[in-house]
Amino acid sequence: MTGFRLGYVPGVTPAKWVRIWAERLPRVPLELIQVTAADAPDLVRRGEADAALLRLPIDRTGLHAIPLYVEQTVVVVPKDHVITAADEITVDDLADELMLHPQDDVLDWDRPPGRLIEERPARTGDAVELVAMGTGLLVVPQSLARLHHRKDLTYRPLTGVPESQVALSWPEADETGELVEHFIGIVRGRTTNSTRGPATPKAAKKSVAKRPVAKKQPDRSRQKPRRRR
């Protein structure tokens, strides 16, 4: 059986699911492919990955997608910023703040909060560098704030804004491949004995020989001894 190729976008950590895959399908290698949020859907459409962990919304043309979990949205700020005095921030708290809006922003905004800086950095990582320089603040999913962690920066939960939804996506087809079905079962928490999951691949099965049934021997303990003539 061939291997399984799984794409994943920055901030998403597939380690738990990869570990379960290795336990259940030890003979089927799983290859991880890191991909940008913008490129993830096309990676699956082109067949360069069998499935991908990405963030919604996406153009679902030719793709299936099942939501897995929702990420907390946070605002990244310098550690000495006045906002750090609060445990949670609202959109109104950012009304007078200069805000960075990177071109690879994964949040589905009607309009980002605060006063937007006209020049948009290309990537989230570039925007984080600008926050450290005091240029502005940045709103991102919590996983991206952790990914780009710096000692001189921190973040606070932000309410009243879109949240990021992580999903598993795979190509539309008349029949979903067996390995994709296995991974869907893993991310949905199905057990190996679940009737909804596919059968164990033949490569991972072990044949069990039937033990021969021993013939029952007669009980001689109750038989009367023969008399000698």
Give domain 73-162's CATH superfamily: Periplasmic binding protein-like II (3.40.190.10)
Beta pairing, strands 4-8 & 30-34: parallel
Strand order in the sheet with 73-78: 115-116, 98-100, 137-141, 73-78, 153-157
Structure tokens at 103: 């071109």
Every domain of the chain and the residues it spans:
4-70+165-204, 73-162
6 SS3 class:
strand
* Segment 96-102 mean pLDDT: 96
Output DSSP code: residue 75. Answer: E
Return the CATH class of domain 4-70+165-204: alpha beta
Contacts of 191 (CB under 8 A, 6+ apart): 197
Integer Rg of the chain from CA: 28
CA–CA gap between residue 145 and residue 202 (Å, rounded):
42
pLDDT in tens, 121-172: 999 999 999 999 999 999 999 999 999 999 999 999 999 999 999 999 999 9
pLDDT in tens, 28-49: 999 999 999 999 999 999 999 9
Helix (H) or strand (E) segment spanning residue 30? strand 30-34
